[in-house]
Amino acid sequence: MTTQEAAAELDRNDPLAAARKWFLVPPGTVYLDGNSLGALSAGVPERIRRVVAEQWGEHLIGGWSEDGWWDAPLRVGDRIGRLLGAAPGQTVAGDSTSVQLFNSLVAAARLRPGRDVLLMDAAGFPTDRYLAASVARLLGLELREAPMPEFADALADCGERLAVATASAVDFRTGELWDLAGLTEATHRAGGVVVWDVSHAVGAVPLAVDRDGIDFAVGCGYKFLSGGPGAPAFGYAARRHHDHLDQPLTGWNGHADPFAMTPDYRPAEGIGRYRIGTPAVLSLLALDAALDVFDGIDLRRLRAKSLSLSRFFIACVDEHLAGRGFELVTPREDERRGSQLTLGHPEAGRLMAAMIERGFTGDVRPPDLLRFGLNGLYLSHAEILATVHALRSLT
């Protein structure tokens, strides 16, 4: 039974319950939109105050050396890399997801000269679709699309023409989690290189990019990482590719000797060449501060909490919302869910507007999808039950 007593018992036994105090969630708000913008981490305001008042205010340009600003893209990149399952020296933080994806798609395609097909998820996030189409035009590739359930077959159908495959780890509409390891292996069997967008997975789902042989991964810092609005993105490139990386965006930060100011570009060693332009220090260090909450967190435990929340959510929907026009869109199987639950309803827009007025913040994807992000660091089972009760009262 999905009762208040059942929710309270689950919350009493929650090993991550204490993590709630690490976030500044406004009183009276049940925040279910962390898959779009994570809640503010409690340590961020003071960290930014110090960066502005002490580092920038007192050290001025000396902050690049005295305060470690110059190395921050690599240092923060390695912190994110831990959440990706990546060994140090393969991840860079900075720029936007769009920039990182463009850079990675082109670099990946250049690793497979003579091949001319770029295969992408037919229902991918719009930015990913726009950029894949642009890269295909620029490089003279044939852009093919395939639904994710048919992606493995589409990879095989490309034959020896496949250069790059790209998709999102979690479907942004439905919250379905795809088989990264299996599809990466299928890409490699076809002779291609894979680029995963893990924006809706990093910080919520344990990833293993090194173990799974993933070539490239990109993602944002403002969803489950809670790095703040417009937080820097990140790019991962497997070490085996570093000596052959020929990315299109060759900014001065990625130069082997950036302060020599030579007219010709010479790439830095290793992942350093994946740096592009001057980093946005304030937002990068806000992200760095937000990542502190993951220190000491076992991602397997966080995943277990997320699954517990979503299982309870599904049980609540079954018990309290049956016959009220709702459809469960997210898969019921644990292994197929990310940290998001999506419900279909013909009045999705009206319902979410009313929910937000009542203090329950989720979001809508047209035409009829209600999305609820389930961040196990600051959500409780009691809040899930309250959310479903609120939905019931509106239908």
Hey, which residues are catalytic here? 125, 197, 222-223, 371
CA distances from 375 to 36, 88, 123, 194, 290 (A): 11, 26, 24, 28, 14
Task: List all residues 6 or more positions away from 295 whose beta carbon is below 8 Å from its beta carbon.
Answer: none
Structure tokens at 163: 């250069």
Please work out, in degrees rounded to the nearest 5, the angle formed at the alpha carbon of residue 376 by the alpha carbons of 390 and 218.
115
Tokens of 287: 């992200």
Cβ-based neighbours of 300, under 8 Å, separated by 6 or more: 206
**CB atoms < 10 A from the CB of 13, how many?**
10
b/e sequence 330-358, b meaning 16+ C-beta within 10 Å: bbeeeeebbbbbbbbbeebeebbebbeee
Q: Which helix (H) or strand (E) holds 82?
A: helix 72-84
Rounded CA gap, 393 and 395, in Å?
6
Instruction: State both tokens at 327.
Output: 């459809």
Measured between alpha carbons, how far is residue 37 from residues 129, 267, 272, 358, 363 in Å? 21, 34, 28, 19, 11
